[in-house]
Amino acid sequence: MILKQQMRRVLYAVALVMSAMFVSIWSPALAEDAFIDGFPDVPHLNIVSKIDGEPVVFDTASGTVAEVGLYISVPAATAFSRYSDALKELGWECVLRGTELTCTRNESKLSLTAPDTRTSEAIFILRLEPLQ
């Protein structure tokens, strides 16, 4: 009898683990849970078609600054909306002004800037820096 109860518990635990694995693999919302290298609090959303090289990271007197270019596969308004929503879920406060989404949290400032429309490249600039 005791062995049968232990077996049920083990099977129940295995079922829970398998369910969690299935959800994490197949859920579209969870598929975007990866973060951009060098930006541990910025999700790598599926609207990012390519990252432009490695992030540039350097230290200043007030803290670390990181910057990278992102190729975005949707119009700027959609990109700003998606990133604003995703970052707000992570505790950031975001404001859109023109072609720049600025988010703050704790002592950090994060900005996503749309490209100059006069250039042929459509690379958004993502920058993380200490809040001044």
For the chain, what percent of residues have pLDDT higher than 90? 60
Query: HSE on the CB side for 100, CA within 13 Å?
Result: 10
pLDDT beyond 60 at 21: no
pTM to 2 decimal places: 0.71
Q: Chain-centre distance of CA 127, in angstroms?
A: 13
Choose the weakest-confidence range: 28-32, 44-48, 82-86. 28-32
Domain range annotation of the chain: 1-31, 34-130
pLDDT score recorded for residue 69: 95
| Three-class DSSP category at 5 | helix
Long-range contacts of 103-109 (CB under 8 A, 24+ apart): 104/131, 105/41, 106/131, 107/63, 107/131, 108/41
Cα 95 from Cα 101, distance rounded (Å): 6
Over range 42-62, report the average pLDDT.
Answer: 93
Residue 107 has pLDDT above 70, yes or no: yes
CA-nearest of 68, 97, 56 to 80 is 97
Mean pLDDT, rounded, for 89-94: 97
Q: How far apart are CA 87 and CA 92, in angstroms?
A: 5
